[in-house]
Each structure stands twice: as structure tokens, then as C-alpha cells.
Amino acid sequence: MVQLSFLSRKKKGRVTRILFATDMHGSEGVWRKFLNASGMLKVDVAVCGGDLTGKMIVPIVEQKDGKYAYYFMGENHVIDSSKVEKAFKDVRGIGYYPYSTNESEYEEMTKSPKKVDEVFSEVMTSTLKSWLDLIRQKVPSETRVVVCPGNDDRFPVDDVVNKHKDVINGENKVIEIDDSHEMVSCGWVNPSPWKTTREEEEDKLEERLEKHISQLKNVESAIFNFHAPPYQTKLDEAPLLDEDLNPIIQGGSVVMVPVGSKAVRKMIEKYQPFLGLHGHIHEASGSMKIGRTYCVNPGSEYAEGILRAFLIEFKGDKIIRLQRIEG
């Protein structure tokens, strides 16, 4: 496991300030707000806790008559070239990837899932690189930006992050946040109905977390940046789904159940770290304590373009500010 230090950029004994957000799912507007907020608030470390990338491409097809056709938000659209830029912006706004193509390639995509996958991977990685290129435009050099790929992020995401000079991939690393706090990160989660990229059974996840934690010098002062929230807390409540993955409604209300990780909860109860940073369950925003450990989940409203984050300030073993940020 790699260990990284920020100590050369910090003075001992000062207040440390972190901005934590997660689950942006391809929403460029939310990513820009995250970077802007990090710069405006002058944080020491900006942490994006997982699920950076989008889930879908929207082909915008140039037709023989010079117009462009695409299917978006349940409707077919036909536009002229003057409206293409706005179409791209609208698609990106809810976390999808617009893709400019022609009728021939589009026909190939309709017939070949492999082709769709190739196009998606190309657009995903190029878009992510353009996101990371914004960091030094928006965030001062004194601020370190850490991202940790989440369960929805395909493995090529790691390569893009690892190669970029302005960001640190937190996965499988111990990062020294200040003179007395280390952070360890894990984007893997317990099984879900969606069968995403980085899921594993609780026993395997527990083994993974134990390996990460074993590299820490002082667990009690550590920060656990684990994408999965701890089980049976208000940070992990999600709709109960039927066999078709639709929410179950009883008495006019959606039935909510805990879906977080038992392994994550076990690690927090066992080691009682200083702070737990979590995400994954968009509906379950909030903060709470498990024993002595403060745990947060900012939630996510990426499709609405809203940034949800926590501003956390601490000095030594004292949390001075735990403030929810929305915008």
C-alpha cells in the first residue's frame, strides 16, 4: 500500500479543513461546483468519495438532411445544428454522456453491444480526463484533491486518475491528511440488485477493509473514506425493491430499508476511527455517531445539478465544524 503525505504543505497544530462530496455520476455541473466550493472555502483537502462517472451515453445522430436526432428523457428530438450545443449541455446536466455520431455508426451501435461498450468507455475516460484538467483552474495548488472510484466506476477510471498529475486516487492508499490524521479509502461495496463493477460479499469486503486498515499508524485518529455506509444507520436507508427493481409502496409511502454494509459497520465499531466518510445511498444524507466515530453521508442529487457536501474542520481529536453544504 502506498502512503502519501501532505505535511510539507501544512503547519503543525493548525485547523484542518476538508470538503467531502460523493456520487456525482457524470454530472459535470456538480463536479464544477465541488471544485469551485473547494477553492472558495480554501480547504486543505477536497475528497470525492466515489461514483464519478455516468451510466449512459445519448447518441446525437447527424442525419442526411443536416439535422440531428436523439432520444432523451423519454422523447425523440430533432434539432438543427444551432441547437446541438444546448442538447449536449442538457444531456451532461443529468449525468449522461452526449455522443456525436452519424447514421452509419449509430446503426452499428444498435446491432452491437460491444460497439456501444467501446464508445461508452472512450467517452467516459475522455470526459473524466477533461474533468480532472479543471482542477488547477478552479482549485489553488495548496489544496489537494483526492478521488476514490466507487462501485459504479469501471476499472479504466483508475488508470485515468492514476496518470493525472493534479489528483490522487485514494483507493488502496494511506494518505496523511495532517500531522495527526491519516485517511484510508475503499470504493468497494456490499452486493446490490444492480450488480455493479465493484461489489463483493460482506466477508470479502471485510478482508479488503482489514488489509487497508492494517497499514494505518494510528487507527483512532484515522479517517475511513469507505463508499458503502455502515449497515442499519440512517445513512443507509433506501427504497425496498420488488423483483422488477421498482420501489414497493405501502400506505402511500415508499418502504425504506437498511442496505449498507455490515462489514463497514463492523470495522467502525471495532476500530472507532476519528471520522467516517460515506456515500453510495443517495437518499440517506445525514450525520451520526457510532460510538466515538462521527460518520457522514452527504447524499446526492446529481441529476438535478445540486452539490451536496460536508465541510469538516478539526484540530487534533476535536471536530470544530461539521456543516452540510448544498448548492
Q: Cell match 487534533: residue? A: 316
Q: Tell me how far CA of residue 82 lies from CA of 86, 186, 204, in angstroms.
A: 8, 44, 52
Q: How far apart are CA 235 and CA 278, in angstroms?
A: 8
Statement: residue 127 has pLDDT above 80: yes
**pLDDT tens profile 90-104:** 999 899 999 999 999
Statement: residue 2 has pLDDT above 60: no
**pLDDT tens profile 285-316:** 999 999 999 999 999 999 999 999 999 999 99
* Residue 269's pLDDT band (cuts 50, 70, 90): very high
Count CA within 13 A, CB hemisphere, residue 132: 25
The angle formed by the CA atoms of residues 222, 22 and 94, to the nearest 5 degrees, is 175
pLDDT of residue 3: 52
Q: How far apart are CA 29 and CA 88, in angstroms?
A: 13
pLDDT of residue 13: 66
Q: How far apart are CA 231 and CA 189, in angstroms?
A: 11
* Residue 33's pLDDT band (cuts 50, 70, 90): very high
pLDDT of residue 172: 87
How many residues comprise the chain? 327
Statement: residue 233 has pLDDT above 70: yes
How is residue 149 written as a grid cell?
472510484
Dihedral of alpha carbons 236, 213, 308, 148, sign: negative
Residues facing 282 on adjacent strands: none
Q: Cell match 460518520: residue? A: 295
Q: Cell match 484515522: residue? A: 222
* Mean pLDDT of the residues in the chain: 95
Percent of the chain with pLDDT over 70: 96
Statement: residue 54 has pLDDT above 80: yes
In one-letter notation, the amino acid at residue 58 is: V
Q: How far apart are CA 226 and CA 209, in angstroms?
A: 9
Diameter over CA atoms, the chain: 67
From the list 260, 289, 262, 261, the residue with the least C-alpha distance to 276 is 289
Count CA within 13 A, CB hemisphere, residue 283: 12
Statement: residue 149 has pLDDT above 50: yes
pLDDT of residue 10: 46
For the segment 20-47, the average pLDDT, to the nearest whole number, is 97
pLDDT of residue 4: 54
Count CA within 13 A, CB hemisphere, residue 161: 22
In one-letter notation, the amino acid at residue 33 is: K
Q: How far apart are the first and last CA of the chain?
A: 36
How is residue 267 written as a grid cell?
470495522
Residues facing 68 on adjacent strands: 62, 79
Q: How far apart are CA 127 and CA 239, in angstroms?
A: 31
Percent of the chain with pLDDT over 90: 94
For the segment 32-61, the average pLDDT, to the nearest whole number, is 97
* Residue 8's pLDDT band (cuts 50, 70, 90): very low
pLDDT of residue 141: 94
